[in-house]
Amino acid sequence: MSDLLDVLWAGHSGFGELRLIKDGVVNQEWVPLPIDDMYTLDDVVLNRDVDGWDVYFGVLPRTTTDGKGASVVSRTSVLWADFDAKAYPGEDV
């Protein structure tokens, strides 16, 4: 994961967002950028996963930790898409 985040968040200062979800509880953690120790980030994510948290990350870095959409950086060098496969009764996925 650290290799991916290193590419996504490269060249930015501010904060990277980790969103943790478990049993309906949502927590946010903020990673100061640039990241000096990617191995520590991997350990953080792995420890949360082992504890049963679903770990998500924000593609765009943030300028502040207020969690508002207005705080995302204005420029990025990546393009992404989010595809979620959902199964509904009577539908094939």
Residue 79 placed within a domain:
no
The pLDDT of residue 38 = 62
Could you read off the pLDDT tens digit of each residue along the chain, which spans 93 residues? 777 888 888 888 999 999 999 999 999 989 888 877 666 777 778 888 888 999 899 899 999 999 888 999 988 888 878 777 777 777 665
What pLDDT is attached to residue 24? 94
Q: How far is CA 13 from CA 2, 10, 54, 62, 73, in A?
A: 16, 9, 26, 8, 9
Is 90 inside any structural domain?
Answer: no
Q: Give the per-residue pLDDT at 62.
A: 93
Going from the C-alpha of 65 to that of each of 12, 14, 39, 74, 91, the distances in angstroms are: 14, 9, 22, 15, 40
Rg for the chain, CA atoms, rounded: 15
In a domain? residue 87: no
pTM score of the predicted model:
0.73
In a domain, 9, yes or no: yes
